[in-house]
Amino acid sequence: MSATLPPLIRFEGVTKRFHAVTALENVSFDVQAGEFLALCGENGAGKSTLMKILSGVITNYDGQIVVGGQRLQLTGTRDAEECGISIIHQELNLVGDLSVAANIFLGRELRNSFGLLDDRRMEQEARALFEPLECHIDPRQPVRTLRIGDQQLVEIAKALNTEHRTQTQSGGSVRKSSPILIMDEPTSALTESEVERLFRIITRLRQRGVTIIYISHKMDEVFQNADRITVLRDGKVVKTLNRAATSPREITGLMVGRDIGESTFGADREPGVVVLNVQNLSLPWRGHVREWRLKGIQFSVRQGEVVGIAGLMGAGRTELLECLYGASPESPMGTIELNGSPVKFAHPEEALRAGIAMVTEDRKRFGLFTTMNVREHITLSSLAPTSDAGFISAARENAAAGASIKSLQVKTAGSSAPITSLSGGNQQKCIIARALRTEPKLLLLDDPTRGIDVGAKAEIYHLIDDLCRKGLAIILTSSELPELIAVCDRILVLCEGRITGEFLRGKFTEQDLMEAATAHSLVS
């Protein structure tokens, strides 16, 4: 790409305020045609807000955006699509009760000669879209039945379909600009092999002239693929750098405004008595060739200990936590003991009362209530201390929420702010705060830092370490092996529903964990 060419996209003084919060302030930078531009910054830095403006989700803002030499004036996402701009949101934008094919073609449905929906053709074309994605999702399957990783692939297929149809309808040669694809944390729920597949697809798209704007907190992805990196902090552009002229350490320093050194978590922690003991836990998988989602699981967790659960997608990490929390699709077999007493939960409410709290992997589907504010989210699971004679005390609820906001450093305009006004990372902090307000004995964290920036991750790691030192037992799943290695005292590895490895702190290596995750080193 030559620097003498006019930019494909130019942001000029873009400013956006949400009531008292300034999300973007005088943002100005450009994007060249056909480049891979990485957009980096902490949660709340304004990255997603800026991309929502570019893609027509937000239309009321100050400043201007010039695309292909013309000022961009959008009234909605359809206008953006007509300009060749597609977006894959971090928070998946799918309709759970519709089929995979219906989601891919939503708003661009195919019809037969009688004007009726042509489901068969849409299913065929959906399968064709999945071929280059190298996945085998049934287009007739309801989206709500898919795991979050497969839902992510549906979002990618949907964006590719929009780009393809817009190009086809415009004849491929009369478009005012080359196609632009925005990816907001697209690999947050993908396995390592799925990430590799995604970047093979991105390479093909770039060969077709597609411009990629890529939001990510994962420095390995950014430095493997980006041409340039633009850093936002507190709604402002800090710097744009050529990838070859910078380093991950410099970028993370620019993101948070300080140097993030290597931290050691868990040093000198002393686990106490056994809190959880699991014996021969198995979860049926009716109608599936494998028959068991989990089989013969045995392990324990002590006070003040972090036990990590590693494994590739589909290994059973989430299913294991759901069994412990009374939220599994089938009733599990085997024995679960909490503080020495057998327990069998039919509903998460029972688990909460017994002293188990869980932060789910998919916060949008299972953690958030979009009509509630920050205060209500934080206190939802622990209303008794905020109530008097069956009525919620506004003063007590505000005090409880305020304490959690301060403790977890939630960035919000106030406890009455809508939960939807917060960044993804701050929404996650509110969900963690809600779990902690129940004063659990055992905390289940299912990939809690998914889609969270490096600064917020460090805060959560320190929080986990502090909670353990106060005697809390924690089970942590993560799709990122370095995260497990940094935080955990022990790591159990799952492969196809069975434990295939157990490793102690000081003996963790990514190679050993990956070998166990792919069943290369089976443990009886």
The letter for the amino acid at 29 is F
CA 431 to chain centre: 14
C-alpha dist (Å) from residue 459 to 35, 189, 263, 432: 33, 21, 11, 12
At residue 507, φ and ψ (nearest 5 deg) are -120, 20
Confirm if 49 and 39 have CB atoms less than 8 A apart: no
Res 524: pLDDT: 35
* 3-class secondary structure, 35: coil
Per-residue pLDDT tens, the chain, 524 aa: give them.
445 678 999 999 999 998 767 889 999 999 999 999 999 887 678 898 999 999 999 999 999 999 999 999 999 988 998 888 988 877 677 898 999 999 999 988 999 988 899 999 999 999 998 887 777 899 999 999 987 778 878 888 887 777 666 555 544 433 445 689 999 888 766 767 778 878 888 888 888 888 999 998 778 889 999 999 999 988 999 999 999 999 988 887 888 775 545 456 767 788 899 999 999 999 998 877 678 889 999 999 999 999 999 987 678 999 999 999 999 988 999 999 999 999 999 999 999 999 999 998 877 778 888 888 999 989 988 888 888 777 888 888 889 899 999 888 888 888 889 998 887 778 888 999 999 999 999 999 999 887 676 777 788 888 899 999 999 999 999 877 888 988 999 999 998 899 999 999 888 887 788 778 875 434 43
The topology (CATH level 3) of 9-256 is Rossmann fold (3.40.50)
Q: How far apart are CA 353 and CA 139, in angstroms?
A: 40
Is it true that 9-256 and 273-355+442-524 share their CATH fold?
A: yes
Write down the pLDDT at residue 258: 57
What's the pLDDT score for residue 302?
96
Predicted pLDDT at 173: 38
Residue 101 tokens read as 């094919």
CATH class of 273-355+442-524: alpha beta
- What is the β-pairing status of strands 442-446 and 391-392? unpaired
pLDDT given at position 213 = 96
- Give every CB contact of residue 491 below 8 A, 6+ residues apart in sequence: 307, 308, 309, 310, 484, 485, 501, 502, 503, 508, 513
Distance (Å, whole) CA 300 – CA 307: 9
pLDDT of 43 reads: 67
DSSP 316-359: SHHHHHHHHTT--SSPPEEEEEETTEEE--SSHHHHHHHTEEEE
Q: Where are the domains of the chain?
A: 9-256, 273-355+442-524, 372-439
* Nearest CA-CA partner of 330 in 282, 296, 298, 368: 282
Using DSSP, state whether 425 is helix, strand or coil: helix
What was the pLDDT predicted at 350? Answer: 95
The helix (run of H) or strand (run of E) holding residue 480 is none
> What letters, b where the CB count within 10 A reaches 16 and e where it falls short, cover 298-334?
ebbbbbbbbbbbbbbbbbbbbbbbbbbbbbbeeebeb
Q: State the pLDDT at residue 284.
A: 92
Q: Which pLDDT score is estimated for 180?
A: 92
Question: What percentage of the chain reaches a pLDDT higher than 70?
Answer: 90
pLDDT of residue 494: 93
Left, alpha or beta for 9 (phi > 0: left; psi -120 to 50: alpha)?
beta
CB atoms within 10 A of CB 62: 12
pLDDT of residue 4: 61
Mean of per-residue pLDDT scores for the chain: 86
Count CA within 13 A, CB hemisphere, residue 42: 25
pLDDT at residue 120 in the model: 93
- The pairs formed by 199-205 with CB atoms below 8 angstroms and a separation of 24 or more are 199/224, 199/225, 201/132, 201/133, 201/156, 202/36, 204/132, 205/160, 205/181
Residues 6+ apart with CB under 8 A from 116: none
Which pLDDT value is given to residue 423?
78
Cα-Cα end-to-end distance for the chain: 55
Give the global pTM: 0.60
